[in-house]
Amino acid sequence: DQQVKQNSPSLSVQEGRISILNCDYTNSMFDYFLWYKKYPAEGPTFLISISSIKDKNEDGRFTVFLNKSAKHLSLHIVPSQPGDSAVYFCAARIGTASKLTFGTGTRLQVTL
Amino acid sequence: DSGVTQTPKHLITATGQRVTLRCSPRSGDLSVYWYQQSLDQGLQFLIQYYNGEERAKGNILERFSAQQFPDLHSELNLSSLELGDSALYFCASSERGPGNEQFFGPGTRLTVL
């Protein structure tokens, strides 16, 4: 039972353009969402998060949008840079619970 | 560098064997989490320890066990290994308990032949 889904295994974007990574969830109890970035041979690194009381959170080039009615969130990266090439994981949590539920990841490649 | 260390980086073993994975959390972090990432899957939460005590349990098999020692490092023990246990095992730590950002180690890649 995949409660957090990232339906696009990969995405290729040109440098300078916008990257949009999508994530869907099925459990309406999730109220906190996170994006992690992972480079090869490294562990995931926290990127940005959003609480369910908000619909947008911005941090520099990264913005996360949350649409609770659609149970959908997206990560926008503008402008995309070659160093953004990595696997991006969406994760969700219920309250302050320990458990993070992760999606399967989207591999982003930013080309020159 | 997240400050979380995991050893070994790679482990190759045979079915039926037992292995121990080790994690040292960031300095000052009291919580340790273990996750398993199988091929093309997301990270699956296994278990959390807080200051030496088990705090939360996820999809951890009975063949697996973990503990957190007084110096706060943690070990994940995997026994009676099966081919399907081949995966990346990540450890994460956070300052206190739930609700705090988790910092991940580089992982241990386990291959069961």
Task: Note the pLDDT tens digit of each residue in B9-24.
Answer: 999 999 999 999 999 9
CA–CA–CA angle B6, B10, B11 (5° rounding) = 110
- What does the pLDDT average to over B86-103? 85
Q: Does B33 touch chain A (CB under 8 A)?
A: yes
pLDDT band of B36, cuts 50, 70, 90: very high
Task: Give the pLDDT mean for A53-77.
Answer: 97
Q: How far is A47 from chain B (nearest CA, A)?
A: 10
Interface with chain B: mutation pick from A48, A99, A104, A106, highest number of B CBs within 10 Å: A99
* DSSP code, position B73: -
Residue A17 pLDDT = 98
Q: Per-residue confidence at B59, pLDDT binned at 50, 70, 90?
A: confident
Higher pLDDT, B97 or B54: B54
Joined tokens for residue A41: 């041979």
Contact of A100 with A3, CB cutoff 8 Å: no
One-letter amino acid at A59 equals D
C-alpha B46: how far from chain center:
8
- Flag whether residue A102 sits within 8 Å of chain B, measured between CB atoms: yes
**CB distance B91 to B71 below 8 Å:** no
Rounded-to-integer distance, Cα A78 and Cα A92, Å: 23
Asked if A8 and A22 touch (Cβ cutoff 8 Å), the reply is: yes
- The alpha carbon of residue A64 is apart from the nearest alpha carbon of chain B, in Å, by 17
Res B95: pLDDT: 83
HSE toward the beta carbon, residue B57, CA cutoff 13 A: 9
Q: Using a CB cutoff of 8 Å and minimum separation of 24, what contacts does B44-50 make?
A: B44/A102, B45/A98, B45/A99, B45/A100, B45/A101, B46/B76, B47/B76, B48/A98, B48/A99, B49/B74, B50/B96, B50/B97
Percent of the residues in chain B that have a pLDDT greater than 70, as a whole number: 96
**Stronger pLDDT, B99 or B70, i.e. the higher one:** B70
- Kindly tell me if the per-residue pLDDT of A74 is higher than 70: yes
Q: Which of residues 7-26 of A touch B (CB under 8 A)?
A: 9
Which residue does chain B place closest to A94, by CA atoms? B99
Write out chain A residues lying below 8 Å of B31, CB-based: 98
* Among candidates A41, A99, A104 on the partner chain, residue whose Cβ is nearest the Cβ of B41: A104
* Furthest C-alpha separation in chain A: 41
